[in-house]
Amino acid sequence: MIESAGHWHVDAAELGRDDRVDFLRSYAFTGVHLMALVSLLTGFSWVALGVMLATFWVRLFGITGGYHRYFSHRSFKTTRVFQFALAWLGASAGQNGPLWWVSHHRLHHRHADTEQDIHPPGIRGFWWAHAGWVLSRRYAGYDTSVVKDLLRFPELRFLNRNHMLAPLSLGLALFGLGWWLEVMWPDLGTSRWQLVGWGLFVSTVLLYHTTFLVNSAAHTSGTRRFDTKDDSRNNWWVALLALGEGWHNNHHRFPSSERQGLLWWEIDVTHYALRLLESLGLVWDLRAPPDRALERAERS
């Protein structure tokens, strides 16, 4: 998983300007990719494929519905218990803790596609926007001034310091499940290491590059419904892969809206999942785009 090198807690003035690759983060990033390739040597089973898809989609929702729409933009409300569940789910994706993730994302919106942006593909190139910035020393820490609303929760500070607990716990759970299936149903053809490999490492690599596409492809390829000050694009195939996050021009125009796909055909799986959670009473006050946005979308 992508480890946070250096201090977990820094002020804005302490953020460096060092774009060199942080070798600790680089080795972790490369290591996860290598482990994903090694995992293919454990063989194939339908159980492993199903577990891989489940851990991919559920953890992806932890990023899209949790880290992004809830923590970064506060686009709906929930209980403190479910808030922590969303944070743990997001951390299990191996993309650092919630405070680190939210801080950098909020700064991205503040300076999108300018020299001050964290990952502007038009200025720094596609690879930098996709993954290069994650591996640089510059962004090892985070700006506490933009996450003051989250710093008041000690459980979020704890998880941010110890974010690796989430993917490690997932790995242990997959190991236990695989061991149990080996013993109870050997005819399924799966094993403890196969489930760890496919359910943790293969799915994590897919998670990395699916979420990274929002920063790279959704700022370089697609259509622009709204004339925003950035280069955000609505990209249908990124939206399909990333549970609706590819409707990025819509999002940059109305960042506090929980719903990002504005028209019926703009598939937004995160929105559908949040509406289901709303019906169960787990979340509420989902913020919607203004009526004029829907009218503009229908005319476009």
Tell me the average pLDDT of the chain: 92
Angle, nearest 10°, between helix axes 80-91 and 165-184? Answer: 80
pLDDT in tens, 112-155: 999 999 999 999 999 999 999 998 888 888 999 999 999 999 99
The answer on pLDDT for 22 being more than 80 is no
H-type alpha helices, the chain: 23-39, 46-61, 80-91, 98-110, 121-124, 126-127, 133-135, 148-151, 154-161, 165-184, 192-196, 203-216, 236-241, 248-253, 269-279, 291-299
Average pLDDT of span 101-108? 98
Instruction: Return the closest-CA partner of residue 129 out of 196, 221, 37, 249.
Output: 221
The CB-side HSE value for 192 (13 A sphere, CA atoms) comes to 9
Q: Which pLDDT score is estimated for 167?
A: 97
Copy the structure tokens of residue 235. 């990209």
Model confidence at 170: pLDDT above 90: yes
Residue 24 pLDDT more than 80?
no
3-state secondary structure of 58: helix
47-93 confidence digits (pLDDT tens): 999 999 999 999 999 999 999 999 999 999 999 999 999 999 999 99
- Residue 94: name the closest of 166, 9, 199 by CA: 166
pTM for this prediction: 0.92
C-alpha distances in Å from residue 18, one per residue of 29, 138, 141, 243: 19, 5, 12, 33
Select from 255, 244, 249 the least CA-distant residue to 223.
Answer: 249
The pair of structure tokens assigned to 242 is: 């990333």
Angle between helices 203-216 and 23-39 (to 10 degrees): 130
